[in-house]
Amino acid sequence: MAQSIRVAVVGASGYGGAEIVRLLANHPQARITTVTSGRSAGKPLRGECPWLATDLVLSEYAPDRLDADFVFLCQESGFAMERAAEILPHARVIDLSADFRLRDYDAYHAYYGREHARPALPSEPVYGLPELAGHEEIERAHLVANPGCYPTTALLSLMPLVRGDLVTGTPVIDAKSGVSGAGRSRKETEYLFTELNGGFKAYAVNGHRHTPEIEQLVGRPIRFTPHLIPATRGIHSTTHVPIKPGLDKARLREHFAEFYRFASFVQVVDAPPSTKQVQGSNRCDLYIDYDDRTGYAVVIGVLDNLVKGAAGQAVQNMNIMAGLPEETGLPVHGVWP
């Protein structure tokens, strides 16, 4: 087991990268050696992210100067596919973009609007959703594709039913996200507080780019509709799933509790959860109900999109890759009020 893990964060001044820095400040075995920014090289990180009490100074990205055992890539899609191969001879990589989440490159082109670079890699990327992927596969990985925030909530809600062979039709996922999910560099007026406050809308009603990521694990088509809500953090996902007859709410809840009995960061709760109760934590809370009139299971999942939906899950993957307990340095409790 590594006694001191050297970490580089590429894109440290964005929401995801800065959240990794915040979380690793309390990690007993990780030491951040390098933080980079394409826009703010040479500036103190605390000047760009004043909520971080750190003396780290941002630098230009240079693969030969990362000085790290693990590199977190926190850039827009397109960066990792061009850069991962030059980092992998020297360090293991956890990519927070979508570049390596999809096995089907044609689907990547269709949903992301660009051809995939298809770099030569020492091994296949591993999809890093620890509760579903298997720790052994993640532990051996050189490159981990960190899941998206919507897919994390949707897949944790769906997969106990899928792997139990209980699904009989098309799952319908009605999901909402806080605006931080769009990233820190967005300039469009629709992301301004004055445009968002008091409103609530769906977007990308057909063809949202997270659809193939969810379908890749589920193994069947899903009906996914995302919404933007006037909140900073949080994912709230209500998934309606037609299932086989003969089940009820109590049996479904027992099935979920058994499925996640060893999952430190998934909690099966007794009442419909709020995004606020998981804010700041690496937890996903799930509530399960059953509508016997229509034969649908209803699963409500909530998480913090910047922690379990991004940076926290990335640190969870790093812990597993480094042979550490996956909980190391990660908050299981939310921040309240």
> Residue ranges of the alpha helices (H) in 219-272?
249-259
Helix-helix angle 149-163:249-259, to 10 degrees: 110
What angle (nearest 5°) sits at the alpha carbon of residue 180, between those of residues 174 and 183? 110
Contact 228, 132 (CB under 8 A): no
**Range 291-313 burial, b when 16+ CB lie within 10 A, else e:** eeeeebbbbbbbbbbbbbbbbbb
What are the residues whose beta carbons fall under 8 Å from the beta carbon of 272, sequence distance 6 or more?
A: 287, 300
Rounded to the nearest angstrom, the gap between the alpha carbon of residue 146 and the centroid of all alpha carbons in its chain is 6
The three-state DSSP-derived secondary structure of 171-194 is CEEEEEECHHHHCCCCCCHHHCHH
Half-sphere exposure of 136 (CA within 13 A, CB side): 0
Contact 68, 47 (CB under 8 A): no
Q: How far apart are CA 177 and CA 323, in angstroms?
A: 32
Contact 256, 286 (CB under 8 A): yes
Contact 295, 320 (CB under 8 A): no
What angle (nearest 5°) sits at the alpha carbon of residue 212, between those of residues 114 and 11? 55
Contact 141, 298 (CB under 8 A): no
- Give the amino acid at 54: T
The verdict on whether 284 is a catalytic residue reads no
Nearest C-alpha neighbor of 274 from the set 235, 244, 248: 235
Contact 215, 209 (CB under 8 A): no
Q: Any idea which residues carry the catalytic annotation?
A: 149
